[in-house]
Amino acid sequence: MNELLYLNVMEIRENLRAKEFTAEELTKAYLERIDETETRVHAYLSVLRDEAISAARAADDRIRTGDQDFPLLGIPVAVKDLLCMKDTKTTCASRFLENFEAPYDATAVGRLKDAGAVILGKLNMDEFAMGSSCEQSAFGPTHNPWNLKTIPGGSSGGSAAAVAARSCVVSLGSDTGGSIRQPAACCGVVGMKPTYGRISRYGLIAFASSLDQIGPFANNIQDAAILLGAVSGHDPRDSTSADEPVPDYTDDLEAGVDSMKIGIPKEYFIEGMDPEVETAVREAIAVFEEQGAEIHEISLPHTEYALPVYYILAPAEASSNLARYDGVRFGVRKKGDSTFGSLFGMYAASRENGFGDEVKRRIMLGTYALSSGYYDAFYTKAQKVRTLICQDFKAAFENIDVVLSATAPTPAFEIGERLDDPISMYLSDILTIPCNLAGLPGISQPCGFTSGGLPIGLQLVGKPFAEKTILQAAAAFERATKHHEALPPL
Amino acid sequence: MAYETVIGLEVHAQLNTKSKIFCGSSASFGGNPNEHTCTVDLGLPGVLPVLNRQVIEYTLRIGLAVGADIAPVCRFARKHYFYPDLPKGYQISQYEEPICTGGCVHFATKDGRDVSINLTRIHMEEDAGKLIHGNELGDPDHSYSDLNRAGVPLLEIVSEPELRNPEDAESYMRKLRTLVRYLGISDGNMQEGSLRCDANISLRPQGSEKFGEKVEIKNMNSFRHLRRALEYEEKRQREVLESGGVIHQETRLWDESAGVTRGMRSKEYAHDYRYFPDPDLVPLTVDAKWLDEVRAQLPELPDAKSKRFQNEFGLPRYDAEVLTAEKELAGYFDQVVEAAGAGLAKSASNWVMGDVLRLLNEQKITINECPITPERLAKLISLIDDGTISGKIAKTVFDQVAESGTDPETIVEEKGLRQITDTSAIESVVDDVLTSNPEEVEAYQGGKTKLMGFFVGQAMKATGGKANPRALQEILREKLGS
């Protein structure tokens, strides 16, 4: 592997500044890496070679003229294919949008460009971000770089796998119920879902609007912090984006966890958890303790309801958000059976052909939950329980700073293993979903490996807008364990 | 059996904001198809709505004007249905938590009754686009969508079922138009669709508390359509009930050319709109300070203006209602009275309601374009009042002022229209008239007193209409010995 591919963001910036190599050389090294790994990993849905090289040249021009005060100047990044990028295909890994070219940049993509990043391409995912394995992509699954027979997690499987495979430096994904953290855990990388509202959702193709949040993937905490800082901040085009100042997330990463109060929710060691995962998490707790953190057992009593609440609210919002895919203005249009008129025949045929099974399943679940006569029993009730889950966290955070748990109950499973069993697939997110329901920031970082060599993820959840606290804690763990230095056998 | 008619109206008023309710596209009427669109109102993947502050402010204006309760926190909800003029597959509207509840609209009927209709609610929502069917373009196999109107802000104003006849429904609708125009929030133009209305109508036995099955009527594009459709439906339902039939809940369309309502869809096919709070928009908070600011900027409203015209100027109720129906007309009248003096207000009212409105009608212009300024009309009225010209001559002067745009006094002087008040001059004219019409004089004296008009006419003709009519009549009576 080209040695340029081992460098982190700060090292690259120093080297570019020192003219050790150019952004163009670096970008080409990454494009070669993509060629080398993609046939096995399939993390990318599109590679933007020409655009990347011209962005790299533009970065080199800036460096030459000394105009280089941009956090990601010349850094090769990639983004999940549900972030709109002007004049490039944005497919959401769906047949429906196979040929959709967004006429605008998502705010997060615009901020990457403004920060000087070189966008290498668009990354694979479960269709419309609905899935936990990346197998629901209409364009074929992504393979886990640690074991090509296993899933990379999902829905941001491409984003996690590309970072793990060193086919980009950092990437953006999105997380609705664990779609950043669970693939980060599967692929042994860092993945963070910030506080709801931290990063603008404008241009993020919506799955469940009240839960969706964009976030960074990286091979280390510092890179994640840099990327997070570059894309965060209020956006007038997203009413739900927070008007909160954006701190420098790389400050104080060295601060350590001395007397930090870490809560371990007893409800998070669930039945069916892989023993190796549990062992790794217990070891991680010991590491934090050694570093000076105070460990407290806590209770989040409504945890068991999080999964059912999520599977009412998220599909309900999805059934609404996906109504715009009607074949009228863009995407797939098919002429259909005109039993109910040619218009409704067209709708039915377009959606039947454009959407995959999991998307259809969730549209049906959500439509049902919102139907008259069922709304109060499902949607309204689920919202009430969501409030209880928020209150659980609020009460817990009165006494602690961070909640620690496993990211997922099991390591990556084999491709195809759970495809016929949606419930077991949904269980992958049982430990990540509560954090979305409560809108809290959460991070997953590597905390060891199974005997079979698969990464295990550790999740830290913080108070609203306390990204800095969880980054500090994660950085301390990273320094103590060095799990992040392991490379997949690619 | 005697039946009572029960009508409730759902009125949609397009707000005349510069931009649409959730994006920066122009909200103006017209334009080439899809010219006033952007990524947001086209409903492209990934876009998000951002609420236009002006829309809230306009809604607060009408909420305050009708005395509605304004929710300190309200929400938007999504209303789902598939149609090609609805880009997102849902309309952003308000459902369980509207911005305004309650309130009341007052109006006077032609026969002088005061009617107050309570409102259920007023809420904000976005308009849908329009479909253009290819058969209008010689292309019958296709339909086209024009999304210029998609996302234009709408208010939905829902009345309680308190209207009792089609005429009141029309008056209510007119009053709403007056209100939105006073408030400057909508053009209130029914033909262009900036004011639209659906009506619910049912009949129940006189004295019954229970409502009958209601029918919803759509597609009424003018005040006249509204009244005619309701009259038709009232009659149709009465006939069904009287012949022992039942009314089924349904939606019917008004067909203006045929003068009938026709069934469109029955309740069995009613949509399930699957409303739920829009997660892309945060709850909207309206604080007391904001409300106070909006309240302070409200113009004098039609009801207050009408009361003022009645109390300060002694105008009859009917005059006051006509003059205040349009803010601009009321403003014009106010200026006339200001220049002429409150003592001439009734005269001013007669002129404005009569000749001025006639002139506007004839020339198809608005009061703002009226060629007679309020000051000139005031002058004209003063000239009548001080006896310089007669009321009859004043009509001529009015037309000449309108035509030439000159001052009434100048016209009176230049054309020598000053009234003859000199009794000796009038006497000699009267003498001539009586001398040349001996038969009529005899008849008059024989009891045909109606001939007085004939003598007045002859004398007026001889003076070119300038004789002071009161003086002329006195002299005639005297000379005819009556």
Contact call for A204 and B46, based on CB within 8 A: yes
Cα A216 → chain centroid: 7
Per-residue pLDDT averaged across A460-483, rounded? 97
CB nearest to B39's CB, from A103, A209, A236: A103
> What is the pLDDT, as a whole number, of residue A12?
98
Please list every residue in chain B whose beta carbon sits closer than 8 Å to the beta carbon of residue A97. Answer: 45
CB nearest to A323's CB, from B88, B275, B279: B88
Residue B100: strand, helix, or coil = strand
Q: Is the pLDDT of residue A444 over 70?
A: yes
- Helices A221-231 & A107-114 angle (0-180, nearest 10): 110
Q: How far is CA B375 from CA B100, B116, B340, B380, B417, in A?
A: 42, 36, 8, 9, 20
Interface of B with A (CB under 8 A): 39, 42-51, 78, 80, 82, 84, 87-90, 145, 272, 274-276, 279-282
> Mean pLDDT score of chain B, rounded to an integer?
93
* B163 close to B197: Cβ distance less than 8 angstroms: no
User: Which of A237, A355, A380 to probe the B interface (max B CBs under 10 A)?
Assistant: A237
Query: DSSP for B303-350?
Result: HHHHHHHHHHH---HHHHHHHHSSHHHHHHHHHHHHHH-GGGHHHHHH
Q: Is the pLDDT of residue A337 over 90?
A: no
B444 by Cβ neighbours in 10 Å (0-12 / 13-18 / 19+) ranks as buried
Per-residue pLDDT averaged across B93-121, rounded? 94
Distance from CA of A82 to the nearest CA of B (A): 8
> What is the pLDDT, as a whole number, of residue B266?
55
Q: Does A103 touch chain B (CB under 8 A)?
A: yes
Distance from CA of A374 to the nearest CA of B (A): 10
User: Which of B25, B39, B42, B48 to probe the A interface (max A CBs under 10 A)?
Assistant: B48
For B319-328, the pLDDT digits (tens) are: 999 999 999 9
Tell me the HSE value of B55 on the side-chain side, using a 13 A CA sphere: 28
> What is the pLDDT, as a whole number, of residue B162?
98
Contact call for B84 and A323, based on CB within 8 A: no
Containing B426, the helix (H) or strand (E) segment is helix B423-436
Distance from CA of B346 to the nearest CA of A (A): 55
Contact call for A239 and B45, based on CB within 8 A: no
Per-residue pLDDT averaged across A441-455, rounded? 98
Q: Is the pLDDT of residue B269 over 80?
A: no
Tell me the HSE value of A45 on the side-chain side, using a 13 A CA sphere: 32
Please name the amino acid found at residue A433.
I
Please list every residue in chain B whose beta carbon sits closer than 8 Å to the beta carbon of residue A100. Answer: 45
Q: Is the pLDDT of residue B420 over 80?
A: no
Residues with Cβ < 8 Å from A247, sequence gap 6 or more? A229, A468
Band (pLDDT 50/70/90 cuts) for residue B386 is: confident
* B211 close to B158: Cβ distance less than 8 angstroms: no
Band (pLDDT 50/70/90 cuts) for residue A330 is: very high
Q: How far apart are CA B226 and CA B177, in angstroms?
A: 14
Q: How far apart are CA B107 and CA B171, in angstroms?
A: 7
Distance from CA of A315 to the nearest CA of B (A): 13
Per-residue pLDDT averaged across A76-99, rounded? 98
Distance from CA of B72 to the nearest CA of A (A): 18
Per-residue pLDDT averaged across A162-187, rounded? 98
Query: Closest-CA residue in chain A for B42?
Result: A329
Distance from CA of A403 to the nearest CA of B (A): 27
- Report the candidate in B28, B116, B50 with the shortest Cα–Cα distance to residue B282: B50
For B230-257, the pLDDT digits (tens) are: 999 999 999 999 999 999 999 999 999 9
Contact call for A328 and B145, based on CB within 8 A: yes
* B49 close to A321: Cβ distance less than 8 angstroms: no
Q: Is the peptide bond before A155 cis (omega within 30 degrees of 0)?
A: yes
Contact call for A367 and B145, based on CB within 8 A: no
> What is the pLDDT, as a whole number, of residue A332?
92
In the set A28, A80, A122, A193, the catalytic residue is A80
Active site residue A463: no
Q: Does A203 touch chain B (CB under 8 A)?
A: yes
Q: Does A341 touch chain B (CB under 8 A)?
A: no
CB nearest to B90's CB, from A82, A106, A323: A323
Query: Closest-CA residue in chain A for B81?
Result: A323
CB nearest to B279's CB, from A203, A317, A375: A317
Q: Does A90 touch chain B (CB under 8 A)?
A: yes
Contact call for A209 and B280, based on CB within 8 A: yes
CB nearest to B272's CB, from A97, A323, A372: A372
> What is the pLDDT, as a whole number, of residue B111?
81
CB nearest to B45's CB, from A84, A316, A328: A84
Quick one: residue B259, left, alpha or beta (phi over 0 = left, psi -120 to 50 = alpha)? left
Per-residue pLDDT averaged across B423-444, rounded? 87
Distance from CA of A372 to the nearest CA of B (A): 6
Per-residue pLDDT averaged across A402-406, rounded? 98
Q: Is the pLDDT of residue B303 over 80?
A: yes
Query: Closest-CA residue in chain A for B270?
Result: A372
Percent of the residues in chain A that have a pLDDT greater than 70, as a whole number: 100
Q: With the C-alpha atoms ordered B82, B84, B86, B87, is the resulting torsion angle positive or negative?
A: positive
Q: How far is CA A452 from CA A236, A481, B224, in A?
A: 48, 19, 81
Strand partners, B122: B100, B157
> What is the pLDDT, as a whole number, of residue B474?
86
Q: With the C-alpha atoms ordered A88, A94, A100, A104, is the resulting torsion angle positive or negative?
A: negative
Residues with Cβ < 8 Å from B446, sequence gap 6 or more? none
Please name the amino acid found at residue A21.
F
Per-residue pLDDT averaged across B325-352, rounded? 95
Query: DSSP for B441-468?
Result: HHHHHTT-GGGHHHHHHHHHHHTTT-B-
Please name the amino acid found at residue A198.
R
Contact call for A208 and B281, based on CB within 8 A: no
Distance from CA of B118 to the nearest CA of A (A): 28
Residue B23: strand, helix, or coil = coil
Q: How far apart are CA A319 and CA A340, in angstroms?
A: 21
Active site residue A171: no
> What is the pLDDT, as a whole number, of residue B391?
83
Q: Is the pLDDT of residue B268 over 70?
A: no
For B32-46, the pLDDT digits (tens) are: 999 999 999 999 999
CB nearest to A102's CB, from B46, B50, B89: B46
Query: Closest-CA residue in chain A for B84?
Result: A328
Please list every residue in chain B whose beta carbon sits closer than 8 Å to the beta carbon of residue A199. Answer: none
Per-residue pLDDT averaged across A345-370, rounded? 96
Q: How far apart are CA B250 and CA B270, in angstroms?
A: 9
Cα A465 → chain centroid: 17
Query: Closest-CA residue in chain A for B78?
Result: A320
> What is the pLDDT, as a whole number, of residue A187?
98
Distance from CA of A383 to the nearest CA of B (A): 11
Please list every residue in chain B whose beta carbon sits closer than 8 Å to the beta carbon of residue A82. Answer: 46
> What is the pLDDT, as a whole number, of residue B127?
97
> What is the pLDDT, as a whole number, of residue B482?
60
Q: How far is CA B7 from CA B117, B224, B265, in A?
A: 11, 16, 20
Query: Closest-CA residue in chain B for A314?
Result: B279
Please list every residue in chain B whose beta carbon sits closer than 8 Å to the beta carbon of residue A209. Answer: 279-280
> What is the pLDDT, as a whole number, of residue B98?
98
Per-residue pLDDT averaged across A122-127, rounded? 98
Percent of the residues in chain B that have a pLDDT greater than 70, as a whole number: 99
Contact call for A367 and B274, based on CB within 8 A: yes
> What is the pLDDT, as a whole number, of residue B270?
62
CB nearest to A320's CB, from B46, B90, B282: B90
User: Which of A329, A330, A371 to probe the B interface (max B CBs under 10 A)?
Assistant: A329
Q: How far is CA A103 from CA A84, A203, A323, B44, B85, in A?
A: 8, 10, 20, 9, 21
In the set A159, A167, A171, A179, the catalytic residue is A179
Q: Is the pLDDT of residue B421 over 80?
A: no
Band (pLDDT 50/70/90 cuts) for residue B183 is: very high
Band (pLDDT 50/70/90 cuts) for residue B463 is: confident
Residue B144: strand, helix, or coil = strand
- Report the candidate in B123, B114, B154, B166 with the shortest Cα–Cα distance to residue B8: B166
Residues with Cβ < 8 Å from B181, sequence gap 6 or more? B187, B188, B326, B327
Structural tokens at position B325: 């129906």
Contact call for A236 and B44, based on CB within 8 A: no
Band (pLDDT 50/70/90 cuts) for residue B414 is: confident
Contact call for B276 and A103, based on CB within 8 A: no
Active site residue A200: no
- Report the candidate in A279, A220, A272 with the shortest Cα–Cα distance to residue A446: A220
Question: In chain A, which among 288-317 make CB contacts under 8 A with chain B?
Answer: 316-317
Please name the amino acid found at residue B72.
P
CB nearest to B46's CB, from A106, A239, A322: A106
> Mean pLDDT score of chain A, rounded to an integer?
97
Q: How far apart are CA B322 and CA B320, in angstroms?
A: 6
Please list every residue in chain A whose beta carbon sits closer than 8 Å to the beta carbon of residue B55. Answer: none
Quote the pTM value.
0.91
- Report the candidate in A243, A317, A239 with the shortest Cα–Cα distance to residue B284: A239
> What is the pLDDT, as a whole number, of residue B253?
95
